[in-house]
């Protein structure tokens, strides 16, 4: 119930609309209750042989006027109440999105994107239903229900009691069935999502499917998931199919009681024929509020549960926080120092980095080598605080990075991740992510630095070419160079490169390394690479093993003093020589 405050602000913001909506809704109910009164008059006139064309026409016109008013007012309550619930949906969704964005990388390691999508769709839809249709159903159940009972009692109390006996059945049934229907509906949605996922995955992996002759396997999977989808749909149909006939049965039980008992009361003139007909009309009006009564409790329960789940996410604090008191006069310049840094992804597991110590002066280049899994990527991730050190500290220019404003810290860093990630959009858009204010000249310069400009020009639309989902139309090497250019375009003093030449050929790789060397002195550069020739000019090279620095020094020193380094370097040199022929 506490999470109710999440929607309160939106309600208050649109309070006038909610009030207008509820007034319209109640007006519709009142007009609906008024119609049986007109019918009663008409029937009484007819049975007393007092009706003439004029009076009948008046009654008919009244009914038409009522119908028109109902139509107009329904439009308005929908606009006001359902509109407000849509506003709540929008507000919650945006809030959830911006909050989730602030959460740390480790949160995303643990949480499945699918779960987040489910919160963003199902939970928010539940809240929308509870705040929109929930209010409508509750108002109708309370107002239309009691008013109709009142009118019925006004005609005859005893008859009302008999007619209402089956009504609780309708409410209970509606509650039971709407719960089941919702559950089944979710399963149908789930089955449909699974089926869509099969299609998406099989088509995005179509090259592997063809190369491995997996067409039949794909077809079988598709058949299975579409069969499952149909089964779920049929299960839903079984429930909806029995719900409505049951409702009609219960209503007709009441109707039977009224025809029999009310008919007798009409004969004994306890009630008039008009009352008899009006009574039946009120009985029909009662069905919806009774169903609404059952439905609304489910809507509200579901909405509340969803709201709690959303609230829980909103209360999750990002692990990486802004410092409480950020350093205001940040040193413009300075080297980078790792002081006894340790980090493990999960507490208790063996550390991905342990007791890393080194220092590198501003404008120098640091190379990091080591077998896969030795902690190179982890080390780079710690600098922009994608993860926070567990022990020890990292300093830039003598200031602990945890006491800098996150934006200030990240503004100083250009980062090229191991897996280049491109957003769908044009080549130009992807470059500009690095520096939205860059002009054309800068754009071209950065592309040239990444040895990519000429190839971009050969693309069908040059810089305006759409790269597609995650950059599908580009080769691995092209993606990598686009990611590099994106880092070069950024005006930053620190450059972090995680295996920047892993996917390009030797010559392109050498050209890129030349670019990186030309930045020496201007930027502090970290390069992790398994291609040792890319690092040989670094001012200092760390040789990593199992999260520790096993050796460090210049290329020459390591060739002398480190077996792993010198062996790997010679092997790679031979390999490169072989490839050159
Ligand atoms: P490298 O870049 O040298 O190949 P990494 O820094 O990627 O090494 O990995 C170091 C260790 O941390 C490995 O044992 C790896 O399994 C582990 N690791 C890396 N990323 C994660 C993660 N997101 N969650 C849990 N463990 C991770
Ligand atoms: Mg790595």
Per-residue pLDDT tens over the stretch 107-134 = 998 887 777 887 788 889 999 999 999 9
* Domains of the chain (ranges, CATH numbers): 2-314 (1.20.1560.10), 336-580 (3.40.50.300)
Per-residue pLDDT tens over the stretch 55-86 = 999 999 999 999 999 999 999 999 999 999 99
Task: Identify the pLDDT of residue 332.
Answer: 66
Task: Identify the pLDDT of residue 542.
Answer: 95
Q: Which structure tokens are listed for 58?
A: 């008046």
Q: Which atom of ligand 1 is nearest to the CA of 109?
A: 23
* Cβ-proximal residues to 562 (8 Å cutoff; 6+ apart), any chain: 543, 550, 551, 553
Residue 442 phi, psi (nearest 5): -65, -40
Task: Identify the pLDDT of residue 324.
Answer: 84
Identify which of 219, 217, 237 has the alpha carbon closest to the alpha carbon of residue 227: 219
Per-residue pLDDT tens over the stretch 219-262 = 999 999 999 999 999 998 998 888 888 888 988 999 999 999 99
Is the pLDDT confidence value at 156 over 70?
Answer: yes
Q: Which structure tokens are listed for 216?
A: 């039949």
Task: Identify the pLDDT of residue 73.
Answer: 97
Task: Identify the pLDDT of residue 191.
Answer: 87
Is the pLDDT confidence value at 343 over 80?
Answer: yes
What is the C-alpha to C-alpha distance for residues 393 and 385, in angstroms, rounded to an integer?
11
Which protein residue has the closest C-alpha to ligand 1 atom 15? 373
Residue 545 phi, psi (nearest 5): -155, 125
User: What DSSP string runs through 49-98?
Assistant: T---HHHHHHHHHHHHHHHHHHHHHHHHHIIIIIHHHHHHHHHHHHHHHH
What is the C-alpha to C-alpha distance for residues 44 and 55, in angstroms, rounded to an integer?
12
377-382 long-range contacts (CB < 8 A, ≥24 apart) are 377/418, 377/498, 377/528, 378/343, 378/352, 378/353, 378/547, 379/338, 379/353, 379/526, 379/528, 379/544, 380/415, 380/496, 380/498, 380/526, 380/528, 381/105, 382/341, 382/343, 382/353
What is the C-alpha to C-alpha distance for residues 119 and 134, in angstroms, rounded to an integer?
20
Beta strands in 410-565 (DSSP E): 413-416, 494-498, 524-528, 540-545, 548-553
What is the C-alpha to C-alpha distance for residues 28 and 49, in angstroms, rounded to an integer?
32
Task: Identify the pLDDT of residue 331.
Answer: 65
CA 264–ligand 1 middle distance (angstroms)? 85
Ligand closest to Cα of 352 equals 1
What is the C-alpha to C-alpha distance for residues 241 and 95, in angstroms, rounded to an integer?
39
Per-residue pLDDT tens over the stretch 288-303 = 898 888 889 888 888 9
What average pLDDT does range 129-143 have in this prediction?
93
Per-residue pLDDT tens over the stretch 463-474 = 999 988 778 888
CA 373–ligand 1 middle distance (angstroms)? 6
What is the C-alpha to C-alpha distance for residues 404 and 407, in angstroms, rounded to an integer?
8
Ligand closest to Cα of 350 equals 1
Task: Identify the pLDDT of residue 1.
Answer: 60
Which of 105, 372, 377 has most ligand 1 atoms within 8 Å of CB, for mutation? 377
How far does Cα 246 stand from its chain's mean position?
38
CA 383–ligand 2 middle distance (angstroms)? 15
What is the C-alpha to C-alpha distance for residues 68 and 30, in angstroms, rounded to an integer?
14
561-566 long-range contacts (CB < 8 A, ≥24 apart) are 565/369, 565/532, 565/541
CA 204–ligand 1 middle distance (angstroms)? 27
Task: Identify the pLDDT of residue 272.
Answer: 94
Ligand closest to Cα of 368 equals 1
Which protein residue has the closest C-alpha to ligand 1 atom 12? 352
CA 85–ligand 1 middle distance (angstroms)? 44
What is the C-alpha to C-alpha distance for residues 384 and 493, in angstroms, rounded to an integer?
12
Task: Identify the pLDDT of residue 212.
Answer: 92
Mean pLDDT of the chain: 90
Q: CB within 6 Å of ligand 1 — which residues?
A: 109, 345, 352, 370, 372-378
Q: Which atom of ligand 1 is nearest to the CA of 370?
A: 3
Angle between helices 157-164 and 145-155 (to 10 degrees): 130
What average pLDDT does range 150-167 have in this prediction?
92
CA 111–ligand 2 middle distance (angstroms)? 21
Q: Which structure tokens are listed for 93?
A: 């969704």
Which protein residue has the closest C-alpha to ligand 1 atom 26? 345
CA 374–ligand 1 middle distance (angstroms)? 8
pLDDT band at 4 (very low <50, low <70, confident <90, very high): confident
Q: Which atom of ligand 1 is nearest to the CA of 547?
A: 10
What average pLDDT does range 34-46 have in this prediction?
94
Ligand closest to Cα of 370 equals 1
Task: Identify the pLDDT of residue 329.
Answer: 66
pLDDT band at 330 (very low <50, low <70, confident <90, very high): low
In eight-state DSSP terms, residue 322 is -
Which protein residue has the closest C-alpha to ligand 1 atom 7? 377
Judge residue 403's burial from the number of C-beta atoms within 10 Å of its C-beta, 0-12 exposed, 13-18 middle, 19 or more buried: middle
Identify which of 426, 359, 441, 346 has the alpha carbon closest to the alpha carbon of residue 398: 359
CA 377–ligand 2 middle distance (angstroms)? 4
* Cβ-proximal residues to 184 (8 Å cutoff; 6+ apart), any chain: 232, 235, 236, 239
Which protein residue has the closest C-alpha to ligand 1 atom 6? 375
User: What DSSP string runs through 445-476?
Assistant: HHHHHTT-HHHHHHSTTGGG-B--GGGTTS-H
Per-residue pLDDT tens over the stretch 478-512 = 999 999 999 999 988 999 999 988 888 888 888 88
Which of 104, 343, 352 has most ligand 1 atoms within 8 Å of CB, for mutation? 352
Judge residue 23's burial from the number of C-beta atoms within 10 Å of its C-beta, 0-12 exposed, 13-18 middle, 19 or more buried: middle
Is the pLDDT confidence value at 555 over 80?
Answer: yes
What is the C-alpha to C-alpha distance for residues 117 and 571, in angstroms, rounded to an integer?
47
Residue 369 phi, psi (nearest 5): -125, 170
Task: Identify the pLDDT of residue 232.
Answer: 92
Ligand closest to Cα of 373 equals 1
Which of 373, 382, 542 has most ligand 1 atoms within 8 Å of CB, for mutation? 373
Which of 105, 111, 345 has most ligand 1 atoms within 8 Å of CB, for mutation? 345
pLDDT band at 544 (very low <50, low <70, confident <90, very high): very high
Ligand closest to Cα of 500 equals 2
Please count the other Cβ atoms lying within 10 Å of the Cβ belonging to residue 539: 15
Which protein residue has the closest C-alpha to ligand 1 atom 16? 373
* Cβ-proximal residues to 268 (8 Å cutoff; 6+ apart), any chain: none
Give the C-alpha distances (Å, rounded to integers) separating 156 from 149, 217, 274, 353, 520: 10, 70, 13, 84, 96
Output b/e per residue, 486-521; b: 16+ Cβ within 10 A: bbbbbebbbbbbbbbbbbbeeebbeebbebbeeeee
Task: Identify the pLDDT of residue 396.
Answer: 92
CA 223–ligand 2 middle distance (angstroms)? 39
Q: Which atom of ligand 1 is nearest to the CA of 350?
A: 14
What is the C-alpha to C-alpha distance for residues 383 and 205, in angstroms, rounded to an integer?
35
């Amino acid at each position: 119930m506490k999470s109710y405050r999440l929607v309160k602000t939106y309600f208050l913001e649109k309070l006038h609309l909610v009030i207008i909506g509820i007034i319209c809704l109640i007006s519709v109910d009142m007009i609906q209750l008024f119609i049986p009164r007109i019918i009663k008059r008409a029937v009484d006139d007819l049975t007393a042989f007092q009706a003439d064309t004029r009076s009948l026409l008046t009654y008919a016109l009244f009914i038409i006027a009522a119908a028109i008013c109902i139509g107009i007012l329904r439009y308005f309550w929908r606009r006001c109440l359902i509109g407000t619930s849509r506003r709540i949906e929008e507000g919650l969704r945006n809030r959830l999105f911006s909050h989730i964005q602030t959460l740390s990388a480790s949160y995303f390691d643990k949480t499945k994107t699918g779960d987040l999508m489910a919160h963003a769709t199902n939970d928010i839809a539940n809240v929308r239903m509870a705040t929109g249709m929930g209010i409508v159903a509750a108002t109708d159940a309370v107002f239309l229900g009691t008013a109709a009972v009142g009118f019925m009692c006004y005609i005859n109390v005893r008859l009302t009691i008999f007619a209402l006996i089956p009504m609780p059945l309708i409410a209970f049934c509606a509650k039971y069935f709407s719960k089941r229907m919702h559950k089944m509906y979710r399963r149908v949605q789930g089955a449909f999502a699974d089926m869509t996922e099969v299609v998406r995955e099989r088509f995005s992996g179509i090259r592997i499917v063809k190369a491995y002759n997996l067409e039949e396997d794909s077809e079988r999977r598709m058949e299975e998931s579409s069969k499952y989808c149909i089964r779920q749909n049929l299960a839903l149909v079984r429930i909806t199919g029995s719900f409505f006939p049951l409702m009609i049965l219960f209503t007709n039980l009441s109707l039977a009681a009224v025809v029999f008992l009310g008919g007798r009361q009409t004969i004994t003139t306890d009630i008039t024929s008009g009352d008899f007909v009006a009574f039946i009309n009120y009985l029909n009006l009662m069905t919806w509020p009774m169903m609404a009564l059952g439905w609304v409790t489910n809507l509200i329960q579901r909405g509340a549960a969803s709201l709690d789940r959303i609230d829980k996410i909103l209360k999750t604090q990002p692990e990486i926080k802004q410092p409480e008191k950020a350093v205001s006069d940040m040193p413009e310049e300075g080297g980078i120092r790792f002081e006894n840094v340790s980090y493990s992804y999960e507490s208790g597991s063996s550390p991905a980095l342990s007791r890393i110590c080194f220092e590198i002066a501003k404008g120098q280049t640091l190379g990091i080598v080591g077998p896969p899994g030795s902690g190179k990527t982890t080390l780079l991730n710690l600098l922009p605080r994608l993860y926070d050190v567990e022990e020890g500290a990292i300093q830039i220019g003598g200031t602990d990075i945890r006491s800098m404003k996150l934006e200030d810290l990240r503004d100083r860093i250009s980062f090229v991740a191991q897996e280049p990630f491109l957003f769908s959009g044009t080549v130009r858009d992807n470059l500009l992510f690095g520096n939205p204010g860059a002009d054309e000249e800068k754009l071209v310069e950065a592309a040239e630095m990444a040895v990519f400009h000429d190839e971009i020009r050969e693309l069908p639309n040059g810089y305006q070419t759409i790269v597609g989902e995650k950059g599908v139309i580009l080769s691995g090497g092209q993606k990598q160079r686009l990611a590099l250019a994106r880092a070069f375009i950024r005006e930053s003093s620190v450059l972090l490169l995680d295996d920047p030449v892993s996917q390009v050929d030797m010559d392109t790789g050498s050209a890129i390394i030349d670019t990186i060397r030309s930045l020496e002195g201007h930027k502090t550069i970290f390069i992790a690479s398994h291609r040792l020739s890319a690092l040989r000019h670094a001012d200092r090279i760390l040789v990593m093993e199992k999260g520790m620095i096993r050796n460090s020094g210049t290329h020459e020193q390591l060739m002398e003093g480190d077996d792993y380094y010198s062996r790997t370097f010679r092997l790679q040199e031979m390999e490169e020589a072989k490839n050159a022929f």
